[in-house]
Amino acid sequence: MVVFEALNALQGDCLLLRLGQRDGEDKIWMIDGGPGAGPALGGDDAPKEVARVTPIPDVVLPHLEAVRRVPPPHVISLGVCTHIDDDHIEGMRRLVRRMAALTPNPSDQIIFRRFWFNSLSAVLAGSDGGALAPQSLGRTIADAFRATGRIAAGGVAQAIGGAPAPRGTPQAVAQSINQGIDLESDLRTAKLAGNLPFGGPVTADGRPLRIDGAVVTLLGPRPERLARLRAEWQAALEKPTAASRDGAVGRLAARVIRPDTSYPNLSSIVMLVEVDGRRLLLTGDALGDDVVEAWRDDLGKGAAVCPVDVLKLPHHGSIRNVSKAFLATFPADHYVFSGNGAHDNPDAATIEMVVESAQGAGREITLHFTNAGIVWKAPQTVKKTGATAESLDAYLAALKTAYPTGWAEKFRDENACAVSIPLPPKAGTPAVADIAPVAVPPAEAEPKKPRPGKKTAPSDAANPATPKKPRTRKKAPPA
């Protein structure tokens, strides 16, 4: 059995896959870690009385302890940070930083066995090593913003570190890139760098991978998109003067402000996971049409449809990242919206598009929301009837009038940490891949839990960086 869970990551994403194993121990994958902290509902402009949540200590760690029924550290077989936006990367950055800080001893929170992450510097370096060190890259971007007037001189420090900058500002752009630089450095310290088995950026290269009994096919980022991005940045960094370089780098980095054309979103790691006859499509903040093109062109599937059991809507359900072609190519039984109303996500138009698409095909679907009580900044309209509503609850009621059958909605219980979708094994589902998957070597075994009252020596499995000492025989004393 596989259990999909979307944790309460506020406006961000934090997903878990719990993969049942024959020995009875689940393998757990964690995709994104949400933001560092924020209001339970709404964005940075939420009223002060709205409770604040810090996802890692308040949600992630308690949930893992509840489902695993053991205290930390919790072993995560595969960690994935899909891209460098704060609401995906910051939780992961904090967990990996803790792991790196305690190396060579095991973390007291989460121990990752594998990790996939496309840092900006690694993507820009490509196969030839590139021309700019990671730390220099972050400073160059911040300086370029300052030089072009996008960041005041006193704002560079905030761009490089300090309190989270407001989303969509130039400070947030540079800060998010530096979060990626921090994560990249800590992954090296924790001996998790390299994106094994890729040995470089994770891309949709058409190779299905078998990991923990599941098969993963990457549908993003597309190699050709990364190649274009790399060429643009290298051209900017090679400008002959500081002024021209600052201007070119500033213009490229500013694309992050426009969500559907930004480097981070369009370089999101997109995973199609197949296990026990089930399919799950996990999209990060990717552009839906990019995922369709990867399916049709890069995998050579043409107009073939890929039904999935679970579809995590890209970019928290933003209408700018979803299209009719995307929904028609990947019809799902369960649609998951991870958001809390910040930036008006999930978008009302996306919700109606999903319901309309399913009704047109005669399918029964369930919509899952990580947060109830969302209120949009302006009334939203049901296209079919013209009815308007200011809250998500009221909008869904109006949508029921327009589309009375064929769909249901479920919200995360206010006392629960996650939306959970258990998927029992299903026979007869053909594999998506036309070629045999590449078997990824198993991660190191999870450390054994000591029995109550019994002291044990530190486990080398829990501490892969510590070499085993060779055994030596004691010499007998001379006669």
Distance between CA atoms of residues 57 and 152, nearest Å: 34
Q: Share the mean pLDDT of the chain.
A: 83
Please report where in the chains the tokens 């780098």 appear, as a residue.
249
Higher-confidence residue of 138 and 235: namely: 235
Task: Please determine, for residue 448, whether its predicted confidence score (pLDDT) is greater than 50.
Answer: no
- Tell me the CA distances in angstroms from 444 to 75, 108, 111, one per residue in order: 10, 17, 11
pLDDT value for 21: 84
Within 10 A of 402 (CB to CB), how many other CB atoms are there? 16
Percent helix / strand / coil, the chain, rounded to 5 = 35, 20, 45
Convert the pLDDT of each residue in 38-91 to its tens digit: 999 987 778 888 899 999 999 999 999 999 999 999 999 999 999 988 899 999
pLDDT interval class at 466 (50, 70, 90): very low
Convert the pLDDT of each residue in 241-270 to its tens digit: 878 877 777 677 666 544 455 666 778 999
Percentage of residues of the chain with pLDDT beyond 90: 57
Beta bridge partners of 39: 52
Within 10 A of 124 (CB to CB), how many other CB atoms are there? 22
pLDDT value for 156: 46
- Cβ atoms of 312 and 6 within 8 Å: the answer is yes
Convert the pLDDT of each residue in 342-361 to its tens digit: 989 999 999 999 999 999 89
**Considering just the CA atoms, what is the radius of gyration of the chain in Å?**
23
Which DSSP letter does residue 163 get? S
Q: What is the DSSP string of 331-361?
A: -EEEEEE---SGGGPSPHHHHHHHHHHHHHT
pLDDT value for 453: 46
HEC-encoded secondary structure of 211-277: ECCEEEEEEECCHHHHHHHHHHHHHHHCCCCHHHHHHHHHHHHHHHHCHHHCHHHHCCCEEEEEECC
pLDDT value for 472: 44
Convert the pLDDT of each residue in 312-346 to its tens digit: 999 999 999 999 999 999 999 999 999 999 989 99
How is residue 294 written in tokens?
């990867």
Q: What are phi and psi of 16, to 5 degrees?
A: -125, 140
Within 10 A of 259 (CB to CB), how many other CB atoms are there? 22
Neighbouring residues of 27: CB distance < 8 A, sequence distance ≥ 6: 18, 19, 21, 77, 78, 212, 213
Convert the pLDDT of each residue in 159-209 to its tens digit: 445 566 666 566 666 677 788 888 999 999 999 998 989 888 899 988 899
Least confident of 31-35, 298-302, 457-461: 457-461
Please report where in the chains the tokens 């008006």 appear, as a residue.
344
Beta bridge partners of 209: 216, 438
Highest mean pLDDT pick, 90-99, 456-465, 468-477 = 90-99
Task: Please determine, for residue 366, whether its predicted confidence score (pLDDT) is greater than 90.
Answer: yes
> How buried is 31 (Cβ within 10 angstroms: 0-12 exposed, 13-18 middle, 19+ buried)?
buried
pLDDT value for 209: 95
How is residue 186 written in tokens?
């800590």
